[in-house]
Amino acid sequence: MPDLAALGPWLRRFLCEHIVTERNLARNTRTSYRDTFSLLLPFVSRKLRKPVDRLVVSDLTSGHVLQFLTHLEADRGCSARTRNQRLATIRAFARFVGSRDPAHVEWCGHIRAIASKRSMPPPVGWLTRAEMESMLAAPDRKTRRGRSEYALLLFLYNTGARVSEATQLRVRDLQIGSRNGGHNLVILHGKGARTRQCPLWPETERVLVDEITRRAGEDAVFISRLGTPFTRFGIYRLIERCAARVPELAGRTITPHVIRHTTACHLVLAGVDINTIRAWLGHVSISTTNIYAEIDLTLKANAVALCEVGQPRSARSWKEDKDLMTFLKAL
C-alpha cells in the first residue's frame, strides 16, 4: 500500500505536526480534534469491516462522513452544534491532505462540500444580582473548606474566568497586597496561550490572601478538600452543590460558564462599554462579546422608549428660533 494512500501517516502528521507546530492551536482544541477521529475511525472501520490500521484516505467517503454525522445526533444524542464542530475537524483534515497531495484533491472537494447544519445558538444563561449573592452565601464560611469554596466562587464572579483558567491559576499569577497605589491584579492564561490582566475587588483580594498563605509561587491557588488542585469536574460539582442550596435556582443548570455570563451581563448593566468587557473576558473578537449587549430587557426597554411613537413634540417652529437663524446665516 503506498504511503500516500494510507490514512494513518496522514492523520499522525495532521494531529502531531500541523495543528501543534504549524497552527499552534490550543490544547483543548487539539483534544477536540483527537476525539473526533477517535469516534470517526472505529465507525468507518465497522462499516467497512476493515481494521482501523488498514484504512486508506479514500475510505473516508462523503457518504461515510454523512452517516457518521447522523450517528452522532441519532445514537449519541449530540446537538447540531456538536455535529458541526466534528464536521469542521474533518474538513480541516481534508484540506490538509488535499493541499499536500494532488491525488487527493477530488476527495478533498467531496468532503469539504458537506454542508453544516443550521443551528440556533443557545440562550445565554445568567444570574441576577440577588441570585449570585445567594450562590456566594451558600458555602459555610465558618469552616476552612467553606471559605475556600467562597473564594473560588467570588474569584469566578469577579474575573469572569473560564474554568480552565481557574484550574491553571498559580500563586505567582496574583499581584495582590500592592503598595504605592498599585492595583490588585490577576494574570489569567486563556485560550491560545493568550494572557490578560483582570483587576480584583478588595474582598476578592482578602479571601485570596487567606488562601495562598504559606504557599510557593508554583502552587495552585485553589485546592480541593483532598489537598490537590481543583479540576474542571471539581469546580462543576462545587457550583452544582451551591446552586442546589438556592431555592430560586431549582430546575436550572448552573455551570462555571453561567457565572462567566453573569459577570459579563452585570458589567453591561453597570454601563461598561462592550470593548472593555471584551478585554475583561479575553475574547479575540468583539462579535463574541456582542451577545451580552442583547440580553437585558431593561436595556431594550430603554432603547424602545427613545423612539416611542406619539411622544409630544415642541409646537415651536424652527423658523421662529431667531437666534438659530442668525447663527446659521453667520456661518
Q: Which of 86, 196, 260, 261 is catalytic?
A: 260
Cα-Cα end-to-end distance for the chain: 84
Residue 245 catalytic? no
Give the rounded distance of the alpha carbon of 186 from its chain centre: 19
Q: Which of 47, 71, 147, 257 is catalytic?
A: 257
Residues ≥6 apart with Cβ < 8 Å to 278 = 285, 286, 288, 289
Residue 257 catalytic? yes
DSSP symbol at 183: P
Q: What are the C-alpha distances in Å from 224 to residues 44, 73, 192?
A: 42, 36, 27
How many residues are there in the chain? 331
Would you tell me how many other CB atoms lie within 10 Å of the CB of residue 156?
Answer: 26
Residue 191 catalytic? yes
For cell 472505529, what's the residue?
Answer: 42
- In this structure, are residues 149 and 207 in contact, taking their beta carbons and an 8 Å threshold? no
Q: Which of 191, 236, 266, 278 is catalytic?
A: 191
Residue 34 catalytic? no
Q: Which of 162, 196, 261, 266 is catalytic?
A: 162
DSSP symbol at 23: S
Q: What are the C-alpha distances in Å from 103 to residues 4, 96, 98, 107, 109?
A: 9, 13, 8, 8, 12
Residue 292 catalytic? yes
Residue 142 catalytic? no
Q: Which residues are catalytic?
A: 162, 191, 257, 260, 283, 292
